[in-house]
Amino acid sequence: MTTTTLAVLVPLLPFLGAVTGLLVGRKAPGFVRPLAVLPALTSMVLAVLVAVRQGGGTGDGTAPLDAATELTPTGSIPIELALHIDGFAALVAVLVGVVASCVQIYSTGYLRDDPRYPSYAALVSLFTSAMLLVVYSGDLMVLLVGWEVMGICSYFLVGHYWETPEARAASLKAFLVTKLGDVPFLIGLFALATDAGSFRITTILDTVAAGGLDHPTLIALLLLAGVAGKSAQFPLHTWLPDAMAGPTPVSALIHAATMVAAGVYFVARLLPVFAASAAALVVLAVMAAVTMVGSALAALAQDDIKRVLAYSTVGQLGYMTGALAVGDRGAAVFHLLSHGAFKALLFLAAGVIIHAAGTNSLAAMSRMRGLRHRVPDAYWTMTVALLALAAVPPFSGFFSKEAVLGAAEHAATGHAAAVPGTAGWLVLVAGLASALLTAAYAMRLWLLAFNGSGADAPDHGRQPVAMNAVLWVLAVPSLAFGLSVGTLPDWFDGDSLAPTLTTSILGTGLALVGGVVTYGAWRHTTALAAQVPLGAVAAHPDATPAVSESEAISTHAPAYGSVAAAHDPADPGRLMLGPLHRHAATGFQLDAVYAALFVRPVRGAATLVRFLDREVVETYVRGVGATPRWLGTAARRAQTGNVQTYLSVLLAGSVVLAVAVVLVAAGA
Amino acid sequence: MTLAATAPQGFLSPTGVEIVFLLVGVVTLGAALITVTSKQLVHAALWLVVTLGGVAVEYLLLTAEFIAWMQVLIYVGSVVVLLLFGLMLTKAPIGPSPDADSGNRWAALAVAGGAAAALVWVVVDAFRTQWIDLDTAQGSTGDVGAILFRHWVLPFEALSVLLLAALVGAIVLSRKNGTTNEESRQGSQAREASEGRREEGKS
Amino acid sequence: MHLAYPAVLAALLFCVGLYGVLARRNAILVLMSVELMLNAVNLNLVAFDVWLRDSLHAGQALTLFTIAIAAAEIGIGLAIVLMVYRNRGTSDVDRLRDTAEGPDDDTDDADDTDEAAAAAKKAEATA
């Protein structure tokens, strides 16, 4: 098979799996698991094959694979089914394939008794297919199709536990907020295609290289809105923490490793378009800086283990956009790949922990002794992943984060052409600050989850092999992906991704400071844990992980006061953040701001419309009803039942008509 | 009037037939008016005889001899008798009945007056210059018989079927049952309908 | 003879019959008036037949048919009147008002409006 055929099969197989799964899922439950796992595995293998055959991208001189076919003429600007596979696409597809396969395998254990597992698995397959389509597509319209399919899959999967009000609200919020970004995104795509005369990425990049773009800033800003929505960047990030109401594997696949990375990947593909406008780069840098620091602070205050990870995802995506803002897409995609691996691992391990502990509250976990011995696999792999997250050498996160910081320093010192120094400094300072904070919240998470004291953790027996095995599979890239730093530039643009000395020392030093400070704070506060009992809520020990999780989510607010935070004085984050804690826990009141800015005006408008409908429109409707009623009452007076009057009227009418006819005839 | 003057035969110099026609016409119309306004129902029927007879005379004047005799035979001879029987059977009061006209009288007058005005206007406007040549008789019995049985045989036969149907219908409708009056009042319709069906089957 | 004489006479006879049909109360008198109208038509037919000198004498033939049909009609009509009289005890046209709207329809209507108001109130309460 040619590489093109292989590449076409990669998104096609999960799609077929999804369709078949939806069709036969109910009638033949035995086929559901193979139908979910096998297409994902096959397309992962195929994606690896494509990557191997394609070899490096532009970095080592290999031309990217470009294939296109136009099915039908579609108006002024043609839409083509196009493939554009360079090093970025090949590697991101491999990541998607790996994570999707892991998640599908993990889900067979996690949702083993779920009655809606068939539709769940099919939606995950459909999502995988859409993501692979986005990755491989060489045509922006086809990319948009995958982009939107991902959005709707995310909506359905976040709402998987639709029995709980949190999940219903979260799925709606995720959908609406991302759509808020998608509308300008669509307009931006049209503007871009109008300027370039094509939806093909290659053509657009050629046009940009030739300076043929008329409104680069406008287009870049419009596209950025969609990217911010999809990749959960400030100010459209608020949906992501709430989306944790979905099942953990979904959070791992969609809201950590792949879909949220789509925005970053999109910018990486079209980076020349953004680089054509210095203003867009500065906006991107500001966005990244605010996102990084704000989300790291918020992560430090969350009580729900998955919300900590969600805010962490937002922050790491901030690093990626930061790398893009300084014009280094190699660093961005490098961080995307390593982050995809270790964040998927973190989420999947968190799913195991939630099941073992019977709660998703860190405060409750910190009052359980020996949780680490109950779930040794999750403990070790999560430790690896947290070290990678905190960018401790030699884990993968260290190399990718240092690549970002190095690129920022490069731009800040004015070595990168066409990138404003402001953007470089913004990304560098924010990146260093959030390196410290990241290490702090990673440390806090680890300490609270695995070093609890108090009653023994409940014993739920061994976790399913499918779930534990996947953790170890993902631990390998988290541990060792950084070693590829020497060969990766060949796949990307060729710029070196190796860490530079200054930023490495600064970044690692700050991370160590963050970890040590957190440890100190924890030692200070942990004594309080025994005095304040918390965490009475625990799911039934024999329930499946999914049931435990949905119960944990729905009981968090009644048990601890809110979905996000708990009143736990033993939390080191509370001590470190001080008065900021209250705001950080609620995501800096951004939801309240949105409520005041958008929700309340919309509700007011709805009330007004309702009033208009009730009082104004309905008056007309009632009038329309009443007038014929009156006329009917009047006409009924004529219905005397006397045949002679009827006949009189009939004949009088005939006479009038006859006279009229005669007059007309005579007149004519 | 100018048009009438230019016509070959003016209205101002009527022929003898025309004078007779006019006189009989006035009598006919007057009898008709009395028929529809009389307070005594039997008198109305008798004035109808005068009207129908007048029309028969008009037919004669128009040389439609056979039609005239048929008019006398059928209308004056049988229809009026039938109507008188009807009056009798419905126990119509003898002597003046003040409520012979319904409350619809004025509306009826208006409609009839309007219709009369319109019709007379149109008819006069259309035919005031036309002249009927009455020199040769048009409706002698022989002529009409020849025409009727040579050219109009099929409608004639169809008419006989119609008359038969009317006969049967009239018998069915007006049949009195052998039972008491009360019972027939309650269930007459259904019974009559079923019996009508049986009769039709027989015939 | 002028055609106008028989034509006008027929028109006037017709209208007199028309008045009778509309104004008379007794059903048999109404039937008499119908006969008048039929006669007016017959007179017209004969007059025009004579005027046109129709070789088939369609007008006179049609007059004969009309007379026969009128005879049938009067037979059926009288039978109906007799039956109505037998069932109702009257043959007055303006007392046969079965097709009129009964007074109970008005109360129905009032109920309707009450129900509509109640429904509107309910809708407002649920909304």
The reported pLDDT for the residue numbered C10 is: 94
Q: Is A652 close to B122, i.e. CB distance below 8 A?
A: no
Cα distance between residue B146 and residue B68, in whole Å: 17
Using an 8 Å CB-CB cutoff, list chain C residues near A648: 22
Does the pLDDT at position A648 exceed 70? yes
Q: Is B167 close to C78, i.e. CB distance below 8 A?
A: no
Q: Is C100 close to A651, i.e. CB distance below 8 A?
A: no
Closest partner residue to C4 (CB to CB) among B61, B108, B128 is B128
**Residue pair A529/A366 in contact by the 8 Å Cβ criterion:** yes
Q: Report H helices in B152-180.
A: 153-174
Q: Which two tokens stand for residue B102?
A: 């319904």
Rounded alpha-carbon distances, angstroms, from residue A641 to A632, A650, B84, B108, C94: 16, 14, 28, 16, 8
Distance, in angstroms, between B194 CA and closest chain C CA?
16
CATH of the domain at C59: 1.10.287.3510
Using an 8 Å CB-CB cutoff, list chain B residues near C3: 127, 130-132
Between helix A465-480 and helix A87-110 the angle, nearest 10°, is 150
For range C27-49, the mean pLDDT: 92
Does the pLDDT at position A605 exceed 90? yes
Using an 8 Å CB-CB cutoff, list chain C residues near A609: none
The answer to whether the bond into B96 is cis (omega within 30° of 0) is no
Of the candidates A574, A587, A434, which has an alpha carbon nearest to the alpha carbon of residue A514?
A434
Cα distance between residue B154 and residue B142, in whole Å: 19
In the structure, what pLDDT confidence band is assigned to residue A533 with cuts at 50, 70 and 90?
low
Domain B2-97+105-151, CATH: 1.20.120.1200
Chain C interface mutation, best of A640, A645, A650, A654, highest count of C Cβ atoms under 10 Å: A640
- Looking only at the bridges linking them, the beta strands covering A81-85 and A455-456 are unpaired
Distance, in angstroms, between A662 CA and closest chain B CA?
8
Q: Is B82 close to C78, i.e. CB distance below 8 A?
A: yes
Closest partner residue to C22 (CB to CB) among A639, A640, A644 is A644
In the structure, what pLDDT confidence band is assigned to residue A355 with cuts at 50, 70 and 90?
confident
Distance between terminal CA atoms of chain B? 62
DSSP E strands, A64-177: 65-69, 81-85
The reported pLDDT for the residue numbered A413 is: 82
DSSP states of A509-563 = HHHHHHHHHHHHHHHHHHHHHHHS--------TTS-HHHHHHHHHHHHHHHHSSS
Residue of B nearest to A652 (CA): B111
The reported pLDDT for the residue numbered A245 is: 82
pTM tops 0.80: no
Does the pLDDT at position C106 exceed 60? no
Which residue ranges make up each domain of chain B?
Answer: 2-97+105-151, 152-203
Residue of B nearest to C91 (CA): B90
The reported pLDDT for the residue numbered B3 is: 46
The reported pLDDT for the residue numbered A61 is: 55
For range A626-649, the mean pLDDT: 85
Backbone angles phi, psi at A489, to 5 degrees: -55, -25
Does the pLDDT at position C107 exceed 60? no
Using an 8 Å CB-CB cutoff, list chain C residues near B55: 13, 39, 42-43
The reported pLDDT for the residue numbered C46 is: 92
Say which residue, A212 or C88, is predicted with more confidence: C88
Residues 163-192 of B with CB under 8 A from C: 163, 165-167, 169-174, 176, 184-185, 188-189
Residue of C nearest to B169 (CA): C76
Does the pLDDT at position A3 exceed 70? yes
For range B169-173, the mean pLDDT: 86
In the structure, what pLDDT confidence band is assigned to residue C108 with cuts at 50, 70 and 90?
very low
For range A292-308, the mean pLDDT: 86
For range A419-438, the mean pLDDT: 86
The reported pLDDT for the residue numbered B31 is: 94
For range A476-495, the mean pLDDT: 78
Q: Is C93 close to A648, i.e. CB distance below 8 A?
A: no
Q: Which two tokens stand for residue B128?
A: 């005031």
The answer to whether the bond into A394 is cis (omega within 30° of 0) is yes
Q: Which two tokens stand for residue A636?
A: 């009924």
DSSP states of C78-105 = HHHHHHHHHHHS--BGGG--TTSPPTHH
Share of chain A above pLDDT 90, in %: 5
Cα distance between residue A39 and residue A18, in whole Å: 9
Does the pLDDT at position A142 exceed 80? yes
Tell me: the pLDDT tens digits for A302-312?
888 888 888 88
Does the pLDDT at position A579 exceed 80? no
The reported pLDDT for the residue numbered B183 is: 45
CB-count burial class (<10 Å; 0-12, 13-18, 19+) for C80: middle
Does the pLDDT at position B203 exceed 50? no
Chain A interface mutation, best of C30, C99, C112, highest count of A Cβ atoms under 10 Å: C99
Using an 8 Å CB-CB cutoff, list chain A residues near B102: 642, 644
In the structure, what pLDDT confidence band is assigned to residue B26 with cuts at 50, 70 and 90?
very high
The reported pLDDT for the residue numbered B58 is: 93
**Residue pair A113/A544 in contact by the 8 Å Cβ criterion:** yes
Which residues, in sequence order, are bridge partners of residue A81?
A69
Classify residue A527 as left (phi > 0), alpha (psi -120 to 50) or beta. Answer: alpha
Does the pLDDT at position B184 exceed 50? no
**Residue pair A474/A337 in contact by the 8 Å Cβ criterion:** no
Residue of C nearest to A647 (CA): C22
Closest partner residue to C8 (CB to CB) among B55, B107, B120 is B120
Residue C53's contacts (CB-CB under 8 Å, 6 or more residues apart) are B133, B138
For range B6-22, the mean pLDDT: 77
**Residue pair A122/A36 in contact by the 8 Å Cβ criterion:** yes
In the structure, what pLDDT confidence band is assigned to residue B68 with cuts at 50, 70 and 90?
very high
Q: Is C100 close to A639, i.e. CB distance below 8 A?
A: yes
For all residues of chain B together, what is the average pLDDT?
A: 81
For all residues of chain A together, what is the average pLDDT?
A: 83
Q: Is C22 close to A647, i.e. CB distance below 8 A?
A: yes
Share of chain B above pLDDT 90, in %: 30
State the residue range of the domain holding C48.
4-126
**Torsion angle, CA of A434/A436/A442/A445, rounded to 10 degrees?**
-100
Distance, in angstroms, between C97 CA and closest chain A CA?
4
Q: Is C8 close to B123, i.e. CB distance below 8 A?
A: yes
The count of structural domains within chain C is: 1
**Radius of gyration (Cα) for chain B, nearest Å?**
23
Which residue ranges make up each domain of chain A?
Answer: 589-637, 644-668
Does the pLDDT at position B114 exceed 80? yes
For range B48-62, the mean pLDDT: 93
Question: 10 Å Cβ neighbour count for C106?
Answer: 12
Q: Is C3 close to B35, i.e. CB distance below 8 A?
A: no
Lowest mean pLDDT among A60-74, A268-282, A503-517, A600-614: A60-74
Chains that touch B (3 or more CB pairs under 8 A): A, C
The reported pLDDT for the residue numbered A364 is: 78
Q: ∠A212-A215-A216 over CA atoms, to 5°?
A: 80
Tell me: the pLDDT tens digits for B129-155?
888 888 888 788 888 889 889 889 999
For range A69-87, the mean pLDDT: 80
For range C43-53, the mean pLDDT: 91
Does the pLDDT at position A539 exceed 70? no
For all residues of chain C together, what is the average pLDDT?
A: 81
Amino acid at A385: A
Closest partner residue to A655 (CB to CB) among B102, B108, B111 is B111
CB-count burial class (<10 Å; 0-12, 13-18, 19+) for A370: middle
Of A425-429, A464-468, C45-49, highest mean pLDDT: C45-49
Q: Is C18 close to B25, i.e. CB distance below 8 A?
A: no
Lowest mean pLDDT among A251-265, A450-464, B124-138, C36-50: A450-464
Cα distance between residue B170 and residue A641, in whole Å: 26
Distance, in angstroms, between B145 CA and closest chain C CA?
9
For range C79-92, the mean pLDDT: 86
Between helix A465-480 and helix A376-389 the angle, nearest 10°, is 30
The reported pLDDT for the residue numbered C120 is: 55
- Looking only at the bridges linking them, the beta strands covering A368-369 and A81-85 are unpaired
Distance, in angstroms, between B100 CA and closest chain A CA?
14
Q: Is C2 close to B51, i.e. CB distance below 8 A?
A: no
> B113-134 burial string, b = 16+ CB within 10 Å, else e?
ebbbebbbebbeeebbeeebeb
SS3 A215: coil
B123 touching A, CB under 8 A?
A: no
Using an 8 Å CB-CB cutoff, list chain A residues near C96: 641, 643
Q: How many CA atoms lie within 13 A of B167 on its CB side?
A: 8
B122 touching A, CB under 8 A?
A: yes
